[in-house]
Amino acid sequence: MEITLRPDLAAYVDQRVRGGAFVSAAELIQEAVRRKMEDDSWMEQKVVDAEQTELSPPTREDLQSVRRLIRQPRATRTS
């Protein structure tokens, strides 16, 4: 697989590898994809949970709350 990154993203990857946070660019990309998969799985589970709960129609405040939750770093989310 070949991946092309924008220059700013490539610079970030290079910086993280040079700084010792990752052994290689491939390791960083694999970690990023793994985390994305976890995030997607987490969100899918929240949707399934919501589908199994009797809900009233969402309000504007509900939607804003979901947006704030999605924007939170994964580590700070609560189940």
- For tokens 């509900």, name the residue: 62
Q: Is residue 3 part of a domain?
A: no
How many domains does one find in the chain?
Answer: 1
CA 43 to CA 45: how far, in whole Å?
5
CA 41 to CA 63: how far, in whole Å?
20
What's the predicted TM-score (pTM) here?
0.56
pLDDT digits (tens, 9 = 90+) for 7-63: 999 999 999 999 999 999 999 999 999 999 988 888 888 888 877 887 678 888 888
pLDDT score for 76 = 66
Q: Is residue 28 part of a domain?
A: yes
Q: Is residue 37 part of a domain?
A: yes
**Rounded CA Rg of the chain:** 17
Range of the domain at 45: 9-74
Q: Is residue 36 part of a domain?
A: yes
